[in-house]
Amino acid sequence: MSNQANKVKFLTYPERIRSRLERTGEIVFIDGQHVTPSQIWQFMTEEAPKRFPYAYDTKTYNIVRLSDDVDFVSGIKYNYIELTWRDRMLAARSKGIPLILNEGGGQTRDPYYAAGAIPLRPGAVSTWVREMEDGLDLHQIDLRNTAIMESGRKLITIEACNQIGAHAAISDGVVDVDMLAPFLCLRCSDVAYLVEKHRSSQRSYPLQLIDYPINNQVNKEWAVEYFASNLKRLIASILNITSAGMTEDGLKEEIKLHNKMRRLALDIHELWWSANIPPTNSTDFNNIRIFGNDPCGVSAISAISILEETKQEVHERIKNSIKGAGLTDDPVRLFACGSCVSPNPTVVDRAGGVVVGKDDWLSGLYIEVKENGNPYGNLAKANLSISYEQPIEVRALWTVEQIKKSKADGMIFMHQWGCNYQSAVSRMVADIVKEKAGIPTLVIEVDELDKAEALEQSQNRVESFIEMLR
Amino acid sequence: MIGLDVGSTTAKAAYPEGKFRIVESRNWRELTDGIAPCDIVSTGYFRKSVPHKLAITEITAAAFGAREYFPDAEVIVDIGGQDTKVIDLRNNTFLLNDKCSAGTGAFLEFTAKYLGIQVSELGDLHMRAKKAAQLNSTCGVFAISEMISRMVEGASVEDVVAGMHYSFARRVAKLIPEADRIVLIGGTVKNRGLTAALEEVAGKRFLIPPAPQTVNALGALRYSEERP
Ligand code: SF4
């Protein structure tokens, strides 16, 4: 429509940020690699813009773009962790660290790390695929991701959600992992296709199904014991790959560290929610929420340091009334529900809103695994109590509580086409929220998981909703 | 200040002196000749691609525009070139049909092209129909093959057009909630045959503004006046 639309503007980090970044700590990964802040700066300002131009493309609709809040130093670290994903996974694997695909929700990451492995969400596989080839622009990565997704659809079904692309990438050998370990809880209907893809795959991967007792079994002793035995089997299978050992004390130690990470991320949420002026934009807030659940290959001790730095920075911003970059004054506060897809954070910010929470990741932050006693039983009990995995009414009432805490003005339940369970429960959750929290709700089905372009129509709905709330 | 609605097919402008202009979308610049971006409130799918001071979605624009003609409107049905929007003003909710061309202007264009006629002729052809052909499919692709079958059986072009309008109406009517004051807007609404079919299928009379195609442009203009 306009020539201007074709011009690409790229994000740059101004030199003035460098000294602030250099005063922060280094990042330590579980394979022992240390990265100094100077190396992070060099990567983010010199190497990554050439290798991953799409991430620096500042188009509002670019859902894989970096946060443009360049002054939020902690945000640079989350971006570094994201953009080095593939390099780091390959390096870790070459050092014998197993990579485990862990689709399905209903779980904490402590057992994987305790056993010396890195858990990979399907979303992380997509990140890996994006980073496979250097120099691609937004359109090119979108085309490639779509091609992989279509290959999965052709082989398995057209009815799966877009995460079939991640399964296709694994079974076609584009991405290599050591084990598939889906959790059989209700949240995700894609697990069925993961298993099916595994069966018809040319490559053979060990498959470890984790049976998650569904339908509110948390207070039943048998369920806790049964689920604990599944977790024990998962850890044993990972240890089998590494031929390494793990003591119960080692598992307890990892649980303690992960509890601390989750608590810190939750503290940041409570700080953020208490502020009159939102201290970060939606992209950075989302990154904190995800990292609190999943340290993405960063050692737990280092992840705790990053979260502590983040907490301090958020605190400073609140004290100095600094608003997240890209936000309007007094933005409409949106709480997001659903699974795997969320309203595009930049679109929300530009339209005059801000995302104050997302139910799936947020429910993970509330997990407090007991630190004394049998660690398997404690993990099982904690994982069975995740609010997101409870009966719909319980989940919806927990959501109402979070909506009140986060002072949300509206709720969007967004679900990916093909995500059958979330699609089925969306209306009930929205109706309960509308009644009990007294805020408007919007249910949207989208087809944007793993897509970076052509999302105008769903974004139009989100913008319309924000305009209505204003 | 002007309201500029640049949609998938046409661009519309509402000027403060009460005038409207419509051109093909690709010629939208003709509407803004001599007007500075700071004097434009844009809407429509291309709202962000054209110069503007403020860009609002068609849903907000429709609410502000329809109110001008019908202050007590309850529901707005906007049948556009690429999607159909149903906005319930009573509880601030909306529904969009944007995945399937059935029930959108694109479906009408598709049919007109197949029949070798102009979209603007569809309304008159419908009015001349003796007996609407029975088309059961609401899917654009299957509807075309049904049209072929009906013509092979001897149905006239007029009857097929009327049947297509009923098929379209059945699709759209399903989206409309129960309400007394429903406003129809969008370029497609100029098609008399279609609105007649929609009223018959829905079993109610609709409110149609004098210039249904420019309601969103007017709404953008009104928005800028009410929320400068
Ligand atoms: S979108 Fe739904 S079905 Fe797809 S992976 Fe996510 S939870 Fe599973």
Least confident of A18-27, A345-354, B218-227: B218-227
Q: Do A1 and B92 touch (CB under 8 A)?
A: no
Distance CA(A428)–CA(A136), nearest Å, equals 41
Distance CA(A112)–CA(A118), nearest Å, equals 6
Distance CA(A348)–CA(A286), nearest Å, equals 12
Q: According to the model, what pLDDT value does residue A6 have? A: 57
Could you state, in order of their start, the residue ranges of all structural domains in chain B?
Answer: 2-67+213-226, 96-202
Dist. CA A66 → ligand 1 center (Å): 24
Q: Where are the beta strands (DSSP E) in A192-274?
A: none
Handedness of CA B105, B111, B117, B123 (dihedral sign): negative
Residues ≥6 apart with Cβ < 8 Å to A269: A288, A289, A357, A362, A365, A406
Q: Do A1 and B83 touch (CB under 8 A)?
A: no
Q: In 3D, which of A350, A324, A344 has the Cα closest to residue A412? A: A344
pLDDT digit string, tens, across residues A110-127: 999 999 999 999 989 989
Dist. CA A338 → ligand 1 center (Å): 9
Query: CB A325: neighbour CB atoms within 10 A?
Result: 17
Q: According to the model, what pLDDT value does residue B81 have? A: 75
DSSP string, A360-400: HHHHHHT-----SS-HHHHHHHHHHT-GGGS-HHHHHHHHH
At A6 the three-state DSSP class reads helix
Q: How far is CA A116 from CA A120, A239, B114, in A?
A: 13, 8, 63
Q: According to the model, what pLDDT value does residue A231 have? A: 96
ipTM over 0.90: no
Q: Is the CB of A162 under 6 A from ligand 1?
A: no
User: Which chain B residues contact residue A468 at CB under 8 A?
Assistant: 59-60, 92
What is the strand order of the sheet A118-120 is part of?
A118-120, A99-101, A179-180
Reported confidence tier of residue A3, pLDDT bands at 50, 70, 90: very low
Least confident of A78-82, A212-216, A252-256: A212-216
Q: According to the model, what pLDDT value does residue A216 have? A: 84
Asked if A59 reaches chain B (Cβ–Cβ under 8 Å), the answer is no
- Ligand 1 atom with the smallest distance to the CA of A162 is 4
Q: Do B50 and A2 touch (CB under 8 A)?
A: yes
pLDDT digit string, tens, across residues A40-79: 999 999 999 999 999 999 998 898 999 999 999 999 999 9
Residue A289: pLDDT over 50 = yes
Query: CB A150: neighbour CB atoms within 10 A?
Result: 14
Distance CA(B107)–CA(A53), nearest Å, equals 39
Q: Is the CB of A338 under 6 A from ligand 1?
A: no
- Ligand 1 atom with the smallest distance to the CA of A189 is 3
Asked if A140 reaches chain B (Cβ–Cβ under 8 Å), the answer is no
Least confident of A263-277, A300-314, A454-468: A454-468
Q: Is the CB of A163 under 6 A from ligand 1?
A: yes
User: Which chain A residues contact residue B56 at CB under 8 A?
Assistant: 467
Residue A226: pLDDT over 90 = yes
Q: According to the model, what pLDDT value does residue A256 have? A: 98
Q: Residue A123 corresponds to which tokens in the numbers above? A: 């979303």
Asked if A2 reaches chain B (Cβ–Cβ under 8 Å), the answer is yes
Query: Which helix (DSSP H) or strand (DSSP E) does residue A350 occupy?
Result: helix A345-350
Q: According to the model, what pLDDT value does residue B100 have? A: 63
Disruptive mutation site among A3, A58, A411, A460 for chain B (greatest number of B CBs within 10 Å): A460
Query: CB B16: neighbour CB atoms within 10 A?
Result: 12
Pick from A5, A440, A461: which is nearest to B96 by CB? A461
Asked if A457 reaches chain B (Cβ–Cβ under 8 Å), the answer is yes
Query: CB B139: neighbour CB atoms within 10 A?
Result: 15
CB pairs under 8 A between A and B: 40
Give the position of tokens 């993961």. A194
Disruptive mutation site among B48, B83, B104 for chain A (greatest number of A CBs within 10 Å): B48
Distance CA(A129)–CA(A117), nearest Å, equals 20
Dist. CA A38 → ligand 1 center (Å): 38
Give me the mean pLDDT over the A258-262 stretch. Answer: 98
User: Which chain A residues contact residue B25 at CB under 8 A?
Assistant: 1
Residue A389: pLDDT over 70 = yes
Smallest CA separation from ligand 1 atom 6, residue: A340
Low-confidence stretches of chain B (pLDDT < 70) are 98-103, 137-140, 228
Q: In 3D, which of A120, A89, A97 has the Cα closest to residue A182? A: A120
Kindly indicate whether the domain formed by B96-202 is annotated with CATH number 3.40.50.300. Answer: no
Distance CA(B92)–CA(A36), nearest Å, equals 51
Give the position of tokens 């829905």. B202
Residue A201: pLDDT over 80 = no
B96-202: same fold as B2-67+213-226? yes
φ, ψ at B14 (rounded to 5°): -115, 125
Q: Is the CB of A82 under 6 A from ligand 1?
A: no
User: Which chain A residues contact residue B58 at CB under 8 A?
Assistant: 460, 464
Distance CA(A463)–CA(B3), nearest Å, equals 18
Q: Do A4 and B48 touch (CB under 8 A)?
A: no
Q: According to the model, what pLDDT value does residue A9 have? A: 93
Output the average pLDDT for chain A: 93
What are B's interface residues with A at a Cβ cutoff of 8 A? Answer: 6, 25-26, 28, 45-46, 48-50, 56-60, 83, 92-94, 96, 98
User: Which chain B residues contact residue A1 at CB under 8 A?
Assistant: 6, 25-26, 28, 46, 49-50
User: Which chain A residues contact residue B28 at CB under 8 A?
Assistant: 1
Residue A33: pLDDT over 90 = yes
Dist. CA A360 → ligand 1 center (Å): 11
Q: According to the model, what pLDDT value does residue A174 have? A: 87
Q: According to the model, what pLDDT value does residue B102 have? A: 64
Q: Is the CB of A189 under 6 A from ligand 1?
A: yes
Fold of B2-67+213-226: Nucleotidyltransferase; domain 5 (3.30.420)
Residue A1: pLDDT over 60 = no
pLDDT digit string, tens, across residues A392-422: 999 999 999 999 999 999 999 999 989 999 9
Reported confidence tier of residue A2, pLDDT bands at 50, 70, 90: very low
